[in-house]
Structure 1
Amino acid sequence: MNLLIADDEKLTREGIQSGMDYGALGFYEVRTADDGRHGLEVCADFAPDVVLTDVRMPRMDGIQMAERLQEMYPDIAIVFMSGYSDKEYLKAAIRLRAVSYVEKPIVLDEVRETLKEAAQRVRAQKRERQHLSDELRSRKAALAVRLTKADKIGRTPADELEEIGFRIPASQLHGCLCVLFPCYGTEHSQEEAGRAVEKLDGSVEQLCRSMRLERLYAIKDPSLFLYLFFSRREMSDHQLALLGSRLTGILCSSGLRFHIVMGRQVDRPEQLYASYNSAIIRLQRAFFIPENSCLPYRETDGRAFFSDLSGQRLVEHFQELVLEQKQEAVDAYLDQLLEKATGKGGSTVLPGQLKDICILMLTFLDQRTALAGAGSERDDRKANWNQVSACVSVYGLRDLMHRKTDRYFQALRKNAECSPVVALIRSYVAECYSDPALSIKAISEYVHLSSSYICTLFRNETGKTLNQHITECRLERAKELLADPRNRIADISSVTGFSDSNYFSKLFRKKYGCSPSEFRES
């Protein structure tokens, strides 16, 4: 808490300031002023919880300063000091609900007890205010959730909106809108999500004031925030676009990865369930727009035609192009698939079906990459599923597909430049990198050549030692596994062939300039 001491007598100010153990009383910062006007200037960047002030001071007396400070800080505690038994000053002190009145000459023990009492009063008020604030926030969140349900139970929305302090009477609300904020890339607990949305809501409240809107919010789950907006009249397309744009700016500045999905605008609070249902349905459409952007509601969206991709031989055609080793054709094909998915031809697809197709494509790519000597021959469908699931938009999915495709063609080019023995060694390492017992001796036995010969051959052709190649294969695989936050770092070190997680972290930092946890955060 903060304490302001105002007195025009220097000896009194300094005596009180030096004669108290403020930390024991609960004060962390103490400032002084020599009159009421100076006291107000000090409070321009200093919010006092308790004010100990003389009554009679030049330019502005303590009563006038206290009146101004109470307007700025309604919960402030005032303690007056005076050597005059002036009844008018005593009346003013009572009117301002002063905690106490200390007579001069000052007795430090009396001041100490008075300040202790004032601090206790402020703490009690803060606890009560926080309790009321938490209770009101819970009521608002519960009401927001109830308004999204068609079968509402209990009192009418109008009664409850009035009780929670809406500035606009419920009977005058004629523009109501549900907006969903799906957030990505964080493993929020319910408590952490609550703190995140409270921090976010401060900026949303300012936006609502500037646009003359009311709002309610709730947490549907730790990665999905629900907002309901209310207006006196139906919001125009321009106002809706402005709301979406400003919400996008607020969420961008918060550091979250997100989409904003708007539902259909309705006339009355009782109809908000229809706005919520339309927003839930359109959540799937958010997959087809870039991250950190807004998907406004369009009446035509409800009549969108969904294409069925299952009979279009998409995977088979992709496999044919990969086998023909035409990288430009493969890249162009993936871009065409993106255009089809985003509905540029007037239709769209279901995200789940598109992801299933991409998993099949990635599995085929992994098999071909392993044959080229730059990957594992094991079935990595689970890892592919994790990577595809981590893509929150079709653009991220496209980038993943292009990275995997590029990796395959790089392996082909490397394979073409090396001898059959080196290609065989690479293929063996790609298959067995997860085995901690993988060694040069095991590789030499596999290719039926001496250890010294394969080490010399491999270094001459690749410019690196065989042990370096084994370590790099393990670290590259570790990078892929780190992309999924569900994989524990200790488990990753184990499944990539490192028996010591500390040694794994040391090698990872040496190779990439950061620790595994830092790489994951970036």
Structure 2
Amino acid sequence: MKLLIVDDEELTRTGVISSIDWQSIGIREVLQADDGINGIEVARVHRPDIVLCDVRMPRLDGIAMLEQLEEILPDIVPVFMSGYSDKEYLKAAIKLKAVNYIEKPLNPVEIRDAIVEARDLCLEKKRTRQNASIHSMENASRLALLLTQPFAHAKESIDQLIAELSLSISNTTPFTAIVLKTDTEEELPLSEANAMFLSVREFLKTFHIDCIFAEKRVQYMVYFLFGSTPGAAVRKSIEEFFCNLYSRCTRFCIAAGDTVTGISRAYQSYTSAVISLQSSFFFPTGTFLSPFYQAPVSETAAELSASPENEFLTLLTEKNKEKAKAFLDNLFLYYNQNQNILPNQAKDLYYKLFRALDNAARQLKLTLSDTQENLIDTLEKIFSYNEMHQKLVKKTEIFFQTAVSTEEENSTIFLIKDYIGQKYMNETLSVKDISDHVFLSTSYVCTFFKNETGQTLNQYLTEYRMEKAKQLLSDPRYKITDISSRVGYSDGNYFGKSFKKYTGFSPSEYREKMS
């Protein structure tokens, strides 16, 4: 807590400061000013909680100073001191809700007791204001959530909340919804979410705009802006502010809806923002889409064929690297910043293209080191089109590198490796399972595999699992406790020991090293 001492006598100020152990009564910082005008300036900058001030001072007396300070710091608690027993000053001090009025010569015990009383009152004021603020924010959040559904469904509740919040809203008040999506899977701490909302509200005041806010389904934040219709320059400032505010998130996208008139149409603004947000999948993370946003039109992208996945499969099996690259380049131009396609349409095609890569590898008897598992789940979690496309480009590059750098494997070795690639996450996978799959005896498969590859089957399986674990550890979305079971280990401790033996690091050390 901060204390400001305002007195035109330096000896009085230094004497008060030195006579009391301020830390013991919760005062962490003591500030000084030599008259009322300087006291106001110090208070503007440092925002003290308590002010101990002389009544009579040159330029601006203590009463006049406190009257101005109450407008800047409504919760400030005053304590007056004076050498004059003036009833008029005492009346003014009482009107300003001074905690105490201390006469000079000053008694350190009286000062200490007065400041302790002021401290307690200040804390009570803060608690009351904080509780009122929390209640107000909870109501504002409830109102924002109600506006994400048709107005007729919740008209009475909406009207009641508007009245409780004392919001100035009429039938002509403009509303604009802003919906934000992040890649977080954990709810923001309440204090952080509230702090971000308050910073938005404070920023918008400059443009005579107010807002309400709600968090929806963890990843989504919804703001409703109302009060005035922003012009182009103000819209640009608002967009930049939101992007800077949420830059703490690894990945995010933002969309604004149409500006509508009246709270009864706020839902229409929200739905248009949601529709726009779907298109954000095809834009770089951190993009702010609004009804005024015009994506650049690509003049170089050709239309896709009727069956792109079959075209891609043919190029792969023919080992036509140049045409496969041209195919991927055109694919990117077609989808990137395309506002006329739904994300699931693109994900459906990319699922088929990833499958085409796996099918081509099987036809050519190639073993890809990054064989995809749970492809549907992987695509579902992908945040942006660019991320999805780069995964396909990377796997295609691995395909052609493998095709060029490795000789065609013995068909039996290929079948063994392919089977391990499909079943490695099963803890019970055994040499017998593998030998049954290729219709050979267990002893023959072990000898044959060692002669062909230089590794035992168990060595290859362990190495394969450890490499998979390394891939998963490099992705922060996967918890270390879950990774062991994903690579075929039900015992987390045994997995940790095996991983350290293989890499020289524990799983947590490896993740830290990769971050």
TM-score range, shorter chain: 0.7 to 0.9
| Residues 384-441 of structure 1: per-residue CA shift (max 9 Å, x gap) | 22332232222221111111111222222331499999989987986787679999xx
SS in 1 for 2:225: strand
Q: Structure 1 residue 503: deviation in Å?
A: 6.6
Q: Tell me how far 1:320 sits from its aligned partner.
A: 1.9
Cα deviations by residue, 1:89-125 (Å, 9 ceiling, x for unpaired) = 2233123221101223333332222111111111111
1:414 to 392, 395, 405: 405
- Does the CA-based 8 Å contact 2:413-2:449 persist in structure 1? no
Look up the match of 1:361. Answer: 353
Contact 1:241 1:296 in 2 (8 A): no
Range moving further from structure 2, 153-162 or 73-82: 153-162
The match for 1:334 is 328
Between stretches 367-376 and 220-229, larger displacement belongs to: 367-376
Q: 1:445 to 1:203 in 2, by over 3 A?
A: farther
Query: Following TM superposition, by how much is the alpha carbon of 1:28 offset from its aligned partner in structure 2, in angstroms?
Result: 2.1
Instruction: Tell me the secondary structure at the aligned position of residue 4 of structure 2.
Output: strand
Which amino acid counterpart does residue 180 of structure 2 have in structure 1?
Answer: F
- CA 1:506–1:16: 2 relative to 1, 3 Å: farther
How many residue pairs align between the two structures?
Answer: 491
Q: Distance in 2 between matches of 1:445 and 1:33?
A: 93
Check whether the contact 1:55–1:63 (CA below 8 A) recurs between aligned residues.
Answer: yes
Matches within 5 A, 1:289-300: 289-297=283-291
> SS at 1:170's partner residue?
coil
Supply the RMSD in Å over aligned alpha carbons. Answer: 4.4
Q: After TM superposition, give the deviation of residue 188 of structure 1 in Å.
A: 2.2
**Contact 2:480-2:507 within 8 A present in 1 as well:** no
Q: 1:84 aligns to what SS in structure 2? A: coil
Match of residue 212, structure 2, among 216, 227, 230: 216
Mapping for residues 23-422 of structure 1, pairs under 5 Å: 23-57=23-57, 60-148=60-148, 149-155=150-156, 161=162, 164-166=165-167, 169-173=169-173, 175-184=174-183, 186-189=184-187, 192=189, 194-232=190-228, 238=232, 242=236, 245-251=239-245, 253-255=247-249, 257-297=251-291, 312-341=306-335, 348-366=340-358, 371-375=365-369, 380-382=372-374, 384-416=375-407
**Partner SS state of residue 215, structure 1:** strand
How many angstroms apart in 2 are the aligned matches of 1:180 and 1:505? 44
Maintained 8 Å contact 1:387/1:483: no
In structure 1, give the amino acid aligned to 2:261.
D
Deviation sequence 1:220-244 (CA, Å, 0-9, x none): 22111112222445x66x4685366
**Secondary structure in 2 aligned to 1:478?**
helix
Deviation for aligned residue 1:49: 0.5
SS of equivalent residue, structure 2 residue 89? helix
Which structure 1 segments of 5+ residues have no match?
302-308, 459-465
Partner of 1:501: 496
1:76-100 deviation digits (Å, cap 9, x = unpaired): 1111122321223223312322110
Letter in 2 for 1:178: A
Equivalent-residue separation in structure 2 for 1:425 and 1:437 (angstroms): 12
Q: Is the 8 A contact 2:171 2:261 kept in 1?
A: no
Cα distance in structure 1, aligned partners of 2:55 and 2:238 = 53
What are the superposed Cα offsets for residues 334-387 of structure 1, whole Å, 9 maximum, x if unpaired? 33334444586xx8443223323322332443465584234377xx441x2233
Deviation at 1:261, TM superposition (A): 2.0
The question of whether the paired residues in 1 share the 8 Å contact of 2:37 and 2:65 is answered with yes
Please, what TM-score do these two structures have when normalized by structure 1?
Answer: 0.77
AA paired with 1:478?
A
| Whole-Å separation in 2 of the counterparts to 1:45 and 1:269 | 39
Match of 1:2 in 2: 2
Counterparts of 2:346 and 2:104, CA distance in 1 = 82
Is residue 81–residue 101 contact of structure 2 (8 Å, CA) maintained in 1? yes
Give yes or no for contact 2:366–2:408 (8 Å, CA) kept in 1. Answer: no
Question: How big is the shift at 1:126?
Answer: 0.7
CA contact (8 A) 1:6 1:53 kept: yes
Deviations 1:221-271 (A, max 9, x none): 2111112222445x66x4685366335533454445222223233222211
Q: Structure 2 CA distance, aligned partners of 1:255 and 1:129?
A: 30
CA distance, structure 1, for counterparts of residue 367 and residue 507 of structure 2: 23
Distance 1:506 1:223, change over 3 A: farther
Aligned partner letter, 1:290: P
User: SS of the residue aligned with 1:138?
Assistant: helix
Instruction: Give the whole-Å Cα distance in 1 for the aligned partners of 2:416 and 2:388.
Output: 32
Tell me the CA shift for residue 131 of structure 1: 1.3
C-alpha contact 2:7 2:53 (8 A) present in aligned 1: yes
SS state at 2:211 partner: strand
Alignment partners' CA distance in 2, 1:418 and 1:491: 33
Q: Is the 8 A contact 1:261 1:282 kept in 2?
A: yes
**Cα distance, 1:150–1:239 mapped onto 2, change above 3 Å:** farther
CA distance in 1, matches of 2:370, 2:33: 74
- Is the Cα–Cα contact under 8 Å of residues 420 and 461 in structure 2 kept in the other structure? yes
1:296 deviates by: 2.2
Deviations 1:465-516 (A, max 9, x none): x999988755542343246555321332454478342673697686999741
1:420-431 equivalences in 2 (<5 Å)? none
Moved more, 268-277 or 329-338: 329-338
CA–CA distance in structure 1, aligned partners of residues 161 and 422 of structure 2: 64
| Counterpart amino acid of residue 201 in structure 1 | F
The residue aligned with 1:462 is none
SS of the aligned residue for 1:137 comes to helix
1:295-323 CA-partner distances (Å, limit 9, x unpaired): 2237999xxxxxxx999333222222221
> Could you tell me how far 1:75 is from its partner in structure 2?
0.9
Quick one: structure 1 residues 355 and 95, their matched pair in 2 at CA, closer, same or farther if it must change by over 3 Å? same
CA distance in 1, matches of 2:291, 2:62: 57
Deviations 1:168-224 (A, max 9, x none): x51442x3222211222x1222x52x4444333344324433433332222222111
Deviates more, 1:467-476 or 1:499-508: 467-476
Corresponding letter in the other structure for 2:480 = I
Q: Secondary structure at the match of 1:43?
A: helix
| Offset at residue 41 of structure 1 (A) | 4.7
Q: Distance in 2 between matches of 1:353 and 1:320?
A: 22
